[in-house]
Amino acid sequence: MIAALTREGAIVRFCGGAVRDALIGVEVADVDLATPDLPETVTRLAAEAGLTTRPTGIEHGTVTVVADRRPFEVTTLRRDVETFGRRARVAFTDDWQADAARRDFTINALYADPDGRLHDYFEGAADLAAGRVRFIGDATQRIREDALRILRFFRFHARFGKGAPDAESLAACRSLASLADALSGERIRQELFRQLAGPRAHYAVTLMAEVGVLAIVLPSATRLDRLGRLAALESTPDPLRRLGALLAHGSDLAAARLRLSNAETRRLIEMCPPLTLAPDADARSRRRLLYAHEVARVRDSAWLALAESGDDRFRTWIEDTGFWQRPKLPVSGEDAQRLGLVAGPPLGAALRRVEDEWIASDFALDRDACLKLLADAAGR
């Protein structure tokens, strides 16, 4: 692909997170490239080499080129003409430093030639080595350009930072925290979930709380203690469950603020407050409750109970949800109708009586036994 895009002499460099992660030995997920060539030139060169392209952000200069079944975003160098919140009016350029100056943090403004030669215009490599996350240029100006950078600062510091946060950057986040209130729910959700999925989620969110950002974007997120304990217990992070651990109340308001999907909203509301589980419940009692509720709800409740209490007996509940297969009542409405019951409330009541007996037997009654109970309920 590089050979195709440079065939007419243009420079193509890897940029941003791919270069940053490669420098510290982290597996690179998404690979982005930059070039002075215009999008139409990138598209033509790729097509002439037999590569597929998609105009994923053509108005902003981005073309996705697919090579070896892997997508690569190729973006024309840009400079800001005017900034207003999330969006900016840009012009294409051939100035690499002007393109770098548009980025948020110095550690994200790194470029590398295909041969590995690094291009670093704002001492990003030194900051990366020192564990320092700082804005390019004036921190206040960069945040005013896009308030989401406040949330991004805490996520990147939690991931790459060492020691205390950069003082100027932190002060700017504190003084401009109110700007985060105007961010869309979708953008807050995306950034917050990335934070909550990270290995230092509790640290990132705690910093946000200390400077007043968390109270602005999510006022009910006050259970930092429970989040910290849950994050320490989980082997695989679950951002939505961690959000539930963080909320003290108002799960419906939080779901609306973050524009969660219907499924996410239902799950969050069901875990806030969680089901009441007895840590010393026997296997039979656990099976009855698992039958009465969705497995995901019981699992979330067990994790939150474990984080709340530290009682390791709740791990038994968690283990149960891993292999639980909900049994099916051996009789149905069709069986009831064959016994003379007409569809309606009496039929439903008869089935419920059979189901209650079946559950009380710890699901041991077989079809014949359930049919007999159903016949008795039908008066046969």
Predicted confidence (pLDDT) per residue in 317-326, tens digit? 999 999 999 9
User: How far is the CA of 53 from the CAs of 39, 58, 73, 249, in angstroms?
Assistant: 10, 11, 10, 47
What is the pLDDT, as a whole number, of residue 343?
A: 82
Say which DSSP state 105 is in.
B
What is the pLDDT, as a whole number, of residue 84?
A: 53
Contacts of 374 (CB under 8 A, 6+ apart): 331, 335, 336, 339, 350, 351, 354
Please name the CATH architecture into which domain 1-130 falls.
2-Layer Sandwich (3.30)
What is the pLDDT, as a whole number, of residue 82?
A: 59
| DSSP-derived pairing of the beta strands 87-92 and 78-84 | antiparallel
What is the pLDDT, as a whole number, of residue 153?
A: 97
What average pLDDT does range 230-259 have in this prediction?
94
For 375, the 3-state DSSP assignment is: helix
User: With bands split at pLDDT 50, 70 and 90, how would you rate the model's confidence at 67?
Assistant: confident
Contacts of 235 (CB under 8 A, 6+ apart): none
What average pLDDT does range 7-30 have in this prediction?
91
What is the pLDDT, as a whole number, of residue 293?
A: 96
CATH class given for the domain over 134-273? mainly alpha
What average pLDDT does range 142-154 have in this prediction?
96
User: With bands split at pLDDT 50, 70 and 90, how would you rate the model's confidence at 83?
Assistant: low
Q: Which of 313, 234, 304 is nearest to 273 (CA)?
A: 304
Domain layout of the chain by residue ranges = 1-130, 134-273, 283-323, 333-377
User: How far is the CA of 253 from the CAs of 120, 179, 290, 302, in angstroms?
Assistant: 44, 20, 28, 23
What is the pLDDT, as a whole number, of residue 54?
A: 86
What average pLDDT does range 267-289 have in this prediction?
95
Distance CA(96)–CA(234), nearest Å, equals: 43
User: How far is the CA of 264 from the CAs of 98, 241, 267, in angstroms?
Assistant: 41, 10, 5
CA 45 from chain centre, in angstroms, equals 36
Which one is predicted more confidently, 134 or 30? Answer: 134
The tokens 């896009």 sit on which residue? Answer: 146
Please check the confidence at residue 30 and state whether its pLDDT lies above 90. no
What is the pLDDT, as a whole number, of residue 245?
A: 97
User: With bands split at pLDDT 50, 70 and 90, how would you rate the model's confidence at 113?
Assistant: very high
Which one is predicted more confidently, 346 or 142? Answer: 142
User: With bands split at pLDDT 50, 70 and 90, how would you rate the model's confidence at 377?
Assistant: confident
Predicted confidence (pLDDT) per residue in 249-272, tens digit? 889 999 999 999 999 999 999 999
What average pLDDT does range 146-162 have in this prediction?
96
Residue 262 has phi, psi (to 5 degrees) of -60, -40
Please check the confidence at residue 187 and state whether its pLDDT lies above 70. yes
| DSSP-derived pairing of the beta strands 13-15 and 32-35 | antiparallel
Q: From the CB of residue 183, how many other CB atoms can be counted at a distance below 10 Å? A: 20
Please check the confidence at residue 213 and state whether its pLDDT lies above 90. yes
Distance CA(253)–CA(296), nearest Å, equals: 21
Please check the confidence at residue 9 and state whether its pLDDT lies above 60. yes
Can 1-130 and 134-273 be said to share one CATH topology?
no
